Chain A
Amino acid sequence: MKTIAVSIVTPDGPVYESEAELVVAKATSGELGVMAGHVPLVAPLAIGSVRMKTGNDQDVVAVTGGFLEVRPDKVTVLAQAAERAEEIDVDRALRAKQRAEERLNQKREANIDQKRAELALRRAINRIQVAQLGKK
C-alpha cells in the first residue's frame, strides 16, 4: 500500500517523523482519516491522539491543540505540545489529573481558573488514554 510521510512538530522540536499508510487524527469537527493522495486540507485539532497505521503496526502520539495540514504526499501536524505514547510520563499525568479535579471541585466561582483546570484535566486524561493505547 502507498504510504504518506507524517511529521509532528511542536515549538520545542520535532516529535515524530515517519511514513504511514493511514493517519487518523481528531479534528474539532470529528475524527479524520488521511491516506496518500488526499486533497490539500487544513483542519484544527482537538485535544486528542494522532494515530499512524502501517499494516498492523500503530504509532500513537498525544497532541494538544494545533492543526493538521495535509498535502498529497505529506501530513504535518503543528501542535502546541505532543508526546509519543511510549514517552508519556503516566504518573505525572495522573498527578495532573488529580490536581485538576481537585481544583475543579474547589473553585466554582472563578471562571478563568475553571476553564484552565478543565483544559488541564482533558490534557491529562488524553495523555493517560494515549499511553494505554500505545501499550496494546
Chain B
Amino acid sequence: MAVNRMFRTCPMTGLRVHQPAEALIKANAVAAVVSLLVGGVLALLVTLTRWPAVHLLPADWYYLVLTAHGINMLIFWIIFFEIAVLYFASSTLLGCRLAAPRLAWFAFLLMVLGALINNYAVFRGDSSVMFTSYAPMGAHPTFYLGLIVFAVGALIACFVFFGTLIVGKEERTYIGSVPLVTFGAITAAIIAVFTIASGAIILIPTFLWSVGLVDHIDSLMYRTVWWAFGHSSQQINVSAHVAIWYAIAAILFGAKPMSEKVSRFAFLMYILFLQIAAAHHLLVDPGLTSNWKILNTSYALYLAVVASMVHGLTVPGSIEVAQRAKGYTKGLFEWLRKAPWGNPVFSGMFMSLLGFGFLGGISGVILGTEQLNIIMHNTIYVPGHFHATVVLGTTLAFMAVTYFVIPAIFRREVSFPKMAQWQPYVFTLGMTMVCLFMMGAGTLGVPRRHWDITFAGNPLGFEFPGMAFLMMGLMGIGGVLAVVGGAMYLLVTVHSVFLGKKIQTPGFAQVRVVEGAAPAPAQPVSAALQAHGGVGAWSAPGTFALAMVFLTAFVLYYFINWNYLSTVWPLR
C-alpha cells in the first residue's frame, strides 16, 4: 500500500507537518470543540440549578444534565483534544509521517461513534448515573457501550502515536532523545493506556451486567477499579497540559527548560505514580486497609506531587531565564511584567499554571491526606478541586494553545482578536470563583451532586449556615462568567476555523519527502520546540520568590485544615 509522504513546512514555525497527521489533528480538535460546546451549555444549566436563588431545573433533569456535562467535559472534550496533541507531538515535532493514518481515522470514527452512543443513552433519560455510574445504580446498556467504543478508539489512537515514535526512529527524522514536549506526550499516552485498560476491566463486566449476562457487580470492587479509570483519565490531562506549558514556553520565548534532565525525571514520576492518586476517592471506604490507602496516597502520590511542583517551577523559571537574556532584568519581576499578557497563548498558559498549582494542586494534597479527606469527602469541595485541575489547569491550557494551533495548523487568522485577548481573563476569573466558592461551601459540608441543599419537603431536614448559601450563590455568578468565557472561546475558535481569513503564503506547497529524509532546516520556533538540554542556569530569582509564596500558602492551608479537623472531632 502506498504511504502518503506529503509534508508541508509551516511558514510560521518551520515545523514539517505530515498531510494526514494535519487532517487528523484538525478532525480531533474539531470534535473536541463540539464536545466542549455541548458540555458548556450543560454547564450553564448545572450552574443555574445549584445557584440556590435560581434553582432552574427539576431534579430528574438536573441529574441527567449533570451526567452529560461530566462525561462530555471530562472524557470527550479532553480526550479528543489530547489525541490531537499526541499526533502533533509525535508526527509534527519529530518531523516524521504519522504511522497508519487509516487506522487513526478508524480510531477517530470509533471515538465519535462512542461519544454519540453515550450521549444518546444519557439523553434518553434512563442513564442519569453521573460520570461515576456507581454499580448497583444501573444505566441503559448503550451508556456503557458508548464508553467502551470510545475507549477502544482512544486506545487505537494511542498505539498510532507509539507507532509514529517508531517511524520517526526508524526513518531517522530525529536523532537522540525525543524533544521534551514529545516526552510529555509519551507520559500522557502511557497513562492513557493504563486508564483505558482499567476502564475495560470494569466497564465490560458492567455492560454485561446491564444486559443481564452477569448477575452481580460488587460495589466496592466497581468503585476501586472504576477510579483507576475515572481518576487516571484526568491524569492524562495533567501530563498533556504540562507538555503544552513547555511547548508554549518554547514557542513564545524560545525558552529551554531549566534542566531537561530534571523535567524528564519529573515526567517519569508521573508515569510511575500519578495514576494511583485515584485512591483518594476511596479513603473513607470500609474494606480497603489503611496500608493500601496511605501508600497509594500519602507516600507514592507525593512523588507525583513533587513532580508537579518541579514542572510548576521549571516552566516559569525557563521563561524568566529567557526573558532575562532579552534584557528584562530589573528587579524580581520585570520579566513577568513585560511578558506578552495581551497574547492569549501566554496569558492562558500562565493562568493555567497558577490555577493548577495554587488551587488544584494544594487542594489535591488536602484531599489525598487520609485524615483530612474525611472533612470534605463527597462534598462540593471535590468538584471545586477538580475544576481547578481539569478546567483551570487543562482546559485553559488547551484554550491557550488553540490560539497557536489556529494559524499554525488550520492556516487561518484568529478572528475577533480583541475578544481572544480578553477570553482567558474572563474564563479564569469565572472559573476561579467557581473553584474557590465550591471549596468554601464544601468545607461547610455542602454535598456535591445534590439537587436541593435546603432539603425542602424532606422529613429529615438539615439547615446549612447562611454562609453556605452565599458561597453557592457566588459560585453561580462565577459559573455564569466562566460560561461566558467559554462561549467567547467557542465563538473565536469556530469563526476562525470555518470563516476566518486564510493565511496566504507565497510559494507555499505540499512537498513529497522521501523515506529517511533529513529534517528541514529548523526555524526559531521549531528549533526551540525540538531542542535539547537545559539552559544550565538557575538564575531565576523571581520564580523562586513565587515558589516561596506557593510553599507558604501550601503549608498554611495544610495546617489550617488540620486545625479544622481538630474542631470537627475535638479531643476532650
Q: Do A and B bind each other?
A: no
